[in-house]
Structure 1
């Protein structure tokens, strides 16, 4: 589907029924027929409309000299629908196409980045600035999602202090996966922002350059924050891995001590249970007590030896 907007004289985006000059066409999960229609009516290469729909498409900027169109592909964060019980994130591409008379955005799903732009007083006739507003909104979305991920990490960390479960470790893995997606996409977006400073196909005025500088600052802040959270998460997972290993060692040591202490009485009782002549015979009514005392003496000696070696 697609919705067509155009700025009013007051700078408010209004939905229009037909394509007009200096309008914005927002395409969300479009069909092949819709892609063909927009390509023909707006004189946009069909590849510019199809490429952003590929989830594996990397961030890039491309100019088509024949149609005088510029394609900007950036990645934005979105919730991973394959993990419903936890807010894990992935990044998917969005295409911004600057044509002679139109600006087109195309993506596989709706995004808050475009919704935030709709709420602003923007002018669709200023195509370069409009594109920068979208890029700025995408950069701020990363900062907001990073804050949410950090809150989830703090919550999991507090729960880990009380008890350690596999679910909590899986949730930490999902956060780590989200941070990997963020860092890769933010660095790719940063390369595009750098190229926009010297791209001849995108005309920038002084105010546009200031906005582009703000986009760069927000993107760099996202990269630095993601790297910081990644280091913190690696430190946490490493610490808890050591704790798990230490707990396992303590458990194995306890089981080993129980085995040693239970084995000594068994050896003594087995020795006196042999069918041979021994110093203590069946005629002595207190023979069982003597055997028990011998077993306890062995246990006490082994326990003292282990205590001196600081094993128990």
Structure 2
């Protein structure tokens, strides 16, 4: 699917039916026919349109001298559709192609960040500035998703203090996985932004450089926040792992002590229950009391010994 936008005189993006110069072509999960059509009509290398559709494609910037086109690939966060139990996130690439007469964005999924740009007053004829607006919107989206992940972490942590379940631990694992995706993608995006400052294929004016600096600040903030949340999550999971081990040790210790105390009377009763001559007469009316006293003495003796050794 592709939609063509162009700015009006008031800076409002309007949908156009035909390809016009200085317009923005937004492609979402395009077909091969659409890719070929846009490539030929806009004089854009076909690989520039196909590479961002690969979910494993890394963030980068690339220039083609023959067509004078620049490809910028950035990763942006999106909800993991494979996880139906918890709102975890992954990152997928989006391609921004700066052509001679057009700016093209191509991605496998629809992007909320681009929908926010549609509501802004932007000028599609200023392609470089428009591309920076997209990059800034993507960087801001990371901060929003990090705040949501942190709220989910705090909610899980509050429940962990009352009871610990496997589901809560799995949810923490999903948050940790999302943070790994974020940190990897943000660092790759930061490299792209650094290269934009140095490249000659994308001409930047002073206002554009200020906007690019805002993008770099947002990305660095995202990296620092992600690293902080990752350290906090590692501390939480490590602490609760120690608590789980401690509780397991207490349980095993309690079961062991119970086994010891139950084994001693059993040994005494088994000894006096044998069909042989014993110190206590068979016809002694208080023989069972004597047996209980002997068993109790053994239990008290073992109990005192374990207590002195601070076993309980």
Shorter-chain TM-score range = over 0.9
C-alpha displacement of 1:309: 1.1
CA–CA separation in structure 2 for the residues paired with 1:85 and 1:4: 36
CA offset digits 1:186-239 (Å, max 9, x no partner): 000000000000110001010000000000000000000000000000000000
Q: Secondary structure of 2:161's match?
A: helix
Equivalent residue, structure 1, for 2:89: 89
Q: Deviations over 1:26-60 (max 9, x none)?
A: 00000000000100100000000000000000000
* Structure 2 runs not aligned, ≥5 long: none
2:219 match? 219
Offset from partner CA, 1:154-195 (integer Å, 9 cap, x none): 000000000000000000000000000000000000000000
In the alignment, does 2:54 pair up with 1:54?
yes
In 2, Cα distance between equivalents of 1:75 and 1:32? 22
Once the two structures are TM-superposed, the CA of residue 250 in structure 1 deviates from its matched residue by 0.1
Q: How does 1:23-38 map to 2 (within 5 A)?
A: 23-38=23-38
Equivalent residue for 2:290? 290
* 1:285 CA drift (Å): 1.2
Partner-residue secondary structure (3-state), 1:129: helix
Supply the distance in 2 between the matched residues of 1:310 and 1:116 (Cα, whole angstroms).
65
Aligned: 1:195 with 2:195: yes
Is it true that 1:172 corresponds to 2:172 in the alignment? yes
Alignment coverage as a number of residue pairs: 312
Q: Distance in 1 between matches of 2:87 and 2:53?
A: 23
SS at match of 1:110: coil
Shift of 1:112: 1.1
Root-mean-square deviation over aligned CA pairs: 0.5
Q: State the alpha-carbon separation in 2 of the partners of residues 10 and 214 from structure 1.
A: 25
SS of the residue 1:92 aligns to: strand
SS at match of 1:213: helix
For residues 166 and 119 of structure 1, what CA distance do their matches in structure 2 show? 43
- Alpha-carbon distance in 1 for matches of 2:38, 2:296: 91
